[in-house]
Structures are given as structure tokens and as C-alpha cells.
Amino acid sequence: MEKNKGSSNFEYIEYFSRYREIIPDFEEFLEYLKVPHQQYFRINNLKVSEEEEAKLLKILESKGILAEEILAIPKFYRVVNNEEVSLGNVKEYGLGLIHSMTLASSLPVIALDPKPGELILDLCSAPGGKTALMAMLTEDKAIIVANDKRIDRLTALSANLKRLGVTSVIITRSKGEEFPFGIEFDKVLVDAPCSGEGRYKVGLEGEILYQKGQGRSNLPSIQKGLLVRACDLTKPGGIIVYSTCTINPEENEEVVDYLLRKRQVKLLDWEAPLPISPGLTEWNEKPFHPEMTKTKRFYAHKIKAVGFFVAKIQKL
């Protein structure tokens, strides 16, 4: 992560103040920004059987990794001694027995609900955590097209899938908003590039630390293009899931509202395994579709993971 070099004594409270009215327990949220990111991992059921899970956890414990099961999301574990260990350094990670990913990254895939035999497109897939989770949940028996526009990110995607033993994925390189027509997919995931505000942490001097790409003013335009293309690539009756790791309504509800006005689709409710806040029906005096409450906001301080937004949509 990098410092916001453009503002040396940047006050994070000032930055997030515009969200004060929409973030529950705002002061708690501000305090959580000071807490280091929590490490989570998922046991890879493509390589580890149910009977072998307990043995694997004991091996990890012998290497100093203490893990606590997340009952709400099967096979996910929280690293208890979070700041003392690095999951990427253990042999079991290199062998693909476990996969490190934030708990919140599972949420778009849970909403998508992939099934064996389905044709699924992950439109912005790299570095491949959600693609891999789809393969795990379908026991590697779906047909998953993993797309990204950047060759360097596809290299990381390919390496992750190989490490995890995934064989059901076809990798493509295309700008998501220009992904070619010709095949209609049962389901499409759009985990869109975003400002990443759900990942933000603050340094000792109150400066925001952030991922590269923050501050791009054209993000909502890109996101709208991706979501419309995803809809056009989905068969009638099929499912689209749109997700970001940002708090910004202009990148979340406003993008979904745009699709509702441009295409014949409807929002679907789904059962979330973690605490939610409903999507907004208004922002800065701009109204959104009343069913936007079916979209879900996951705030970092409530789920103890990266903040996320998830919308489940059906093409009519």
C-alpha cells in the first residue's frame, strides 16, 4: 500500500465525513480503520478432503498459525495471531492446500451461487481468488471463463489456479466492456475495478493508506460499461452479480441504478452470511430505484474484513 503523497497530514476523518450519515456506528468505523487487515484463508476442497481438514489445521498450528473457524462461511478460517505470521510463507500455501483471501471476497461468489455444469463468466477475474472459489464450490465441474485485460494480472491468475489445482477455467484477455458476443452465459460476475475504500487503513499520523488506482474520476463510467456488457452476455433468466470493495454510492448503487434504467433486469434478494446494511435509495438528493434496498453493503467494522458492496441481478 502507498501513502497519499498529495496531502502530507491528510485527515482520514475529513475524507470519510461525507459518509457519516450512511455508515452505521460511524465512530466505531473510524476506529477500525486503525486496525491492520485481518488474514483469512480457505481450505481448498479440491485438494483436501473433509477427513484431512483437521490434520491440516494441526500442521498449520505446529507452524505457528492459529486458526479459528468461521461458522457462517464453510471452510473459511481467521488467523488468530494475525500480525505474527504470513500465510504466503508456509509450504501448505505453496502446495495449494489453503488459499489466502479476505472473508468478504467470498460474498459475491456466494451471491452468484455457482453450480456444476453452468457456464460462468468472471469478467474482471485477476488475480483469481473469486474464480478459484467458484471452482471449489462447484467441485471443478462448472465451465468458468476467467477474463482480464492486463497480461501481468493474467499471469498471477494462471499461477493461482495452477497452484490450487483448478482445471475448469478458460482464461481470456479482453477489455471487459468489449468482451466479444457469441456465447450466452448462465451467470456473470462483475467484481469491478473501484476506488477500494473498503480496503483503506490509516497510518499513525492519520494519513490514508490505499491501493494503487484510488482517485480515478472515470471509474463509474467504466463500471457502468462493464455491468451493461455483463448483462448483454447473460442469457435471459440468467444471473449477474456486481460487486466492489468501496463505500462510494457513485460506484455502487448509482451503477446498478443505471443498469436498471438501461436493460430489462430486476434486483434479487439473497441470504447473506455476514452482517449487512441495505443499499441506498438516495444519495446527494439523487433518488435510486426503491428496490435498491435488496443490494447489500458490508462495512469493514461490522464484518471484521474488507468492506464490500454486492448486488444480485436477474436478466429478464
Domains of the chain: which residue ranges?
39-101, 103-315
pLDDT tens-digit map of 109-134 = 999 999 999 999 999 999 999 999 99
- Residue whose C-alpha cell is 468482451: 179
Instruction: Say yes or no: do domains 39-101 and 103-315 share a fold.
Output: no
Please report, rounded to a whole number, the percentage of residues in the chain having pLDDT higher than 90.
Answer: 89
Evaluate if residue 213 carries a pLDDT over 50: no
Q: What percent of the chain has pLDDT over 70?
A: 93
The backbone torsions φ and ψ at residue 172, rounded to the nearest 5 degrees and listed phi first, read -130, 155
pLDDT at 32 over 50: yes
Q: Which fold has domain 103-315?
A: Rossmann fold (3.40.50)
- Exposure class string for 58-77: b at 16+ Cβ within 10 A, else e: eebeeeebebeebeebebbb
The secondary structure of 48-99 as a DSSP string is S-HHHHHHHHHHHHHTT--EEE-TTSTTEEEESSTTT--GGGSHHHHTTSEE
Annotated catalytic residue, options 124, 194, 231, 245: 245
DSSP, collapsed to helix, strand or coil, labels residue 312 as strand
Q: What cell numbers appear for 43 in the block?
A: 481450505
Tell me if residue 280 falls in helix, strand or coil.
coil
Average pLDDT of the segment spanning 148-155: 93
pLDDT for the residue 208? 73
Gap between the Cα atoms of 31 and 303, Å rounded = 14
User: Mean pLDDT, to the nearest integer, of 141-158?
Assistant: 95
In angstroms and rounded to an integer, the radius of gyration of the C-alpha atoms of the chain is 19
Q: Is residue 215 pLDDT above 70, yes or no?
A: no
User: What's the predicted TM-score (pTM) here?
Assistant: 0.94
Which pLDDT band holds residue 237 (cuts at 50, 70, 90)?
Answer: very high
Which DSSP category does 252 fall into? Answer: T
Active site residue 245: yes
Q: Which architecture characterizes domain 39-101 according to CATH?
A: 2-Layer Sandwich (3.30)
Amino acid at 300: A
